[in-house]
Amino acid sequence: MRKKASSTIKLVLITSVLASCGQPVAPAEEAKQRVFMRADSTAPYTEVTKDYRDQHRTGGGMGSSLLWFMAFRHIGAGLGYSNNNLNPSSVSGTNAKKAAAYQAKRGGFGNTAASSKSSSFGS
């Protein structure tokens, strides 16, 4: 029977990333650290230091911590998160397959949730 408590529990993803949410960033580190991003290995980098710091200051839980990379991406057509401080050249390189990814239709799932006031779509 499995009605006994787990003897040990290890989290590899959540504790390592999520538990760091809300940790204050040392001012000295803020001053030194610069962050550059690109969405494609063939695309040029753009500096996003300011955006990265803003995400960390919010302490908004795992959404901002885990998905901060996604938050800067231009998906097009208003999909995904986007940030105009990231130069569009940094999200589109010369990789044809990845370029095709931007041509795909997106947003075909999720509309029901978008029109709901609920904070969870589970049960």
Residues of this chain that interact with another protein (CB under 8 A) are 1-7, 9-15, 18-19, 21-22, 61-63, 66-67, 70, 73, 75, 79-80, 97-98, 100-101, 103-114, 118-123
Least distance CB 97 / another protein (angstroms): 5
Nearer Cβ to another protein (9/28)? 9
Q: How far apart are CA 14 and CA 21, in angstroms?
A: 10
Nearer Cβ to another protein (84/118)? 118
| Count of positions (residues) in the chain | 123
Nearer Cβ to another protein (27/108)? 108
Nearer Cβ to another protein (12/31)? 12
Q: How far apart are CA 72 and CA 87, in angstroms?
A: 10
SS3 track for 6-32: CCCCCCCCHHHHHHHCCCCCCHHHHHH
Terminus-to-terminus CA distance in the chain, angstroms? 26
Least distance CB 31 / another protein (angstroms): 27
